[in-house]
Structures are given as structure tokens and as C-alpha cells.
Amino acid sequence: MTLGWILIAVGLAWLLADLGYLPGAALELWRLWPLLLVALGLELLFGRDPKGRRLSALVLFGLLLAAGFWLAFGPPPSGPFVRESLRVPLAAGLQTASLRLDTPVARLELSALPADAETLLDAELERLPRQRILLERKRRRERMELRLRSEGRNLRLQGRAPLWKLGLHPAVRYDLDLRLGVGQGRLDLRGLELEGLAIRAGVGDLTVFFPAKGGYEARVEGGVGRLTLLLPPGLPVELEVEKGIGGVAVSGLGGGGRRWSSGGSGPPLRLAVEAGVGQVEVRVLEAAPYPEGD
């Protein structure tokens, strides 16, 4: 019985980590395989004794707790960050692109590249020595599909988080799926044209500047920390907010409660915000033209 619960717990944790709901370090659970031998031995010794089963369960729980704490917060690889540069050329005839980004632990900065850039994606990345950064890309006629992620030991308690600085070419329409882990983020999407946006915030403050053009749906799931969403003036917006733990402040839009909106010309931005733990601010900037900086 005890062995069965151990297998179920390890399998569920592994599945959740692979789906992105747990930090990438959870994938290192395979290193705890000797605990299965311990569980099997305790089951053989005390499997028929009720008191023995309770004792073995307590022992295994303590071992799992200690091992899990070490995996998550144990000493990370020493030494400075390793810096990598990744570039995807801007291919002829490319009109749209999708980008899925998984950052378990990183300080993320994303913005538009200059119009005369020769790359679709320009990334300057930092990682820990035992990490690997993987870029997957696939061309489908006039569309490029990209996925950028990291594997290996991600957690580092001392010092700053590694910096991921990404630039996207403004001549292509993007479908962005951004899954953030631990670390602050600044997503400056001004100058880009979107066909879809999904953001799953993690732990840390996140600021998002939305593009001046609408005509797409966006969903932002708040995490733990302050979430600031800055909208351009004159863009028609249909906003739906689901409150979490913390306050929600909306300015520059009409309405109240869960639904807010603003008028304007052109196709609207349909924005759904699911607040997490922390303050959420949705604000329409007053400056015109739409500024390029804070």
C-alpha cells in the first residue's frame, strides 16, 4: 500500500512538471528512485502490522520531505551564469509566427526589434552551468513555429535570476504563449502585431505593454506578485476580470465589477484577466502617441 502511494505521488509530480505546472526541477524526481527500494523494504517488514504501517508511512514521508527540499533548495551548481545567443533568421515569405516560451526561473524582457533587423527572433540568454536551453523551430509554409525552454537545475537562492532578453521582428504577426516561472518580467509588445496572446504568470512582478492594434484575444493568468497591464489610448477594449486574492484597480475603462470596456475605432482587444495573489492594475495610458518607453 505504501509503495503504491509513493508511485502515485511521484508520477503525479512528474506529470505536473512536464505540463508546466511545477518548476522544471521537479523533473529531477527520478533521482529519488532509491526511496522506492526503501518503501518496498518497509512494506515487506511491516506490511501486515497496522502500527508498523503507520511508522513506515511516517518514515517515508520524512524522507520524501527532506529529499524534495534538497532538490528544490539544495546547493545549485556554483559559478557564474553561462551566456548564450540564439537567432532565427527572417525568412522570405514569412507572415505569421507562434512562440511558446517556458521560463522556469528567469528575469524576462521581451520587446520588438528594429524594422531593419534581419532576424525573426534575437535572444540573449543566461543559464546555470547544468542547464540546457532548447530552441525548437518548424516552418509551415508562411508560418514559423517556435518553442524556447530550458532543462536541468533551475533554482538558485542566492543572487539574481538569469536574464532572458528576447526581441521579435515587427513585420510578422505573432501568436504568443508565455509561461513564466519565478522571476520578474517586462513584456513590451508595442511595435508588434498579435493574432493571439496567452500569459501564465508565475512568482514575481510582471508588467505588460499591449500593442496599439487590436483584433485578437488575450488571456492573462496572474501568479504571485504584482501584475500591471498597460493599454494604449484609443484602442477599443473588452475586459473581463476574475478576481483573486488581492485588489484589482482598473482606470481608463468604463464599467465595473467583472466587465469593463472602452470605445474606439478598429477591431477590439478582447482581454480576459484571471487575478492571482497580489495587486492587479489595468490602466489605459494617457500619452499620445503611444510612448516607446516608461
Q: Which pLDDT score is estimated for 39?
A: 62
Contact in structure between 188 and 112 (CB atoms under 8 Å): yes
Q: Which of 50, 73, 96 is the last residue of a domain?
A: 73
Does residue 38 share a domain with residue 153?
Answer: no
Q: For residue 78, is it within any domain?
A: no
Mean pLDDT for the chain?
A: 80
Confidence check: pLDDT of 263 > 50? yes
Q: Which pLDDT score is estimated for 1?
A: 47
Does residue 149 share a domain with residue 13?
Answer: no
Does residue 69 share a domain with residue 96?
Answer: no
Angstrom distance (rounded) from CA 205 to CA 278? 9
Q: For residue 246, is it within any domain?
A: yes
Q: Which pLDDT score is estimated for 99?
A: 97
Q: Which pLDDT score is estimated for 77?
A: 47
Residues above pLDDT 70, as percent of the chain:
68
pLDDT band at 183 (very low <50, low <70, confident <90, very high): confident
Q: Which of 73, 93, 121 is the last residue of a domain?
A: 73
Task: Give the tens place of pLDDT for each residue, 105-134.
Answer: 789 999 999 999 999 999 999 988 878 899
Does residue 69 share a domain with residue 87?
Answer: no
Domain with 127, as residue range(s), is 83-284
Q: Which pLDDT score is estimated for 40?
A: 63
Does residue 196 share a domain with residue 88?
Answer: yes
**CA of 200: how far to CAs of 42, 118, 176, 204, 274, in Å?**
41, 30, 11, 12, 10
pLDDT band at 60 (very low <50, low <70, confident <90, very high): low
Q: Which pLDDT score is estimated for 27?
A: 47
Confidence check: pLDDT of 11 > 70? no
Q: Which pLDDT score is estimated for 19?
A: 46
Please name every residue paired with 199 in a beta bridge, in sequence order, or none if there are none.
178, 220
Please report the beta strands in 5-118, taking only residues with DSSP state E, as ranges in sequence order. Answer: 82-89, 96-105, 107-112
pLDDT band at 84 (very low <50, low <70, confident <90, very high): very high
Other Cβ atoms closer than 10 A to 270: 16
pTM, to two decimals: 0.71
Nearest-10 Cα torsion for 89, 90, 91, 97: 110
Q: Which pLDDT score is estimated for 21?
A: 47
Q: For residue 291, is it within any domain?
A: no
Angstrom distance (rounded) from CA 207 to CA 188? 8
Average pLDDT rounded to a whole number, residues 80-93: 92
Does residue 231 share a domain with residue 99?
Answer: yes
Q: Which pLDDT score is estimated for 20?
A: 47
Q: Which pLDDT score is estimated for 199?
A: 95
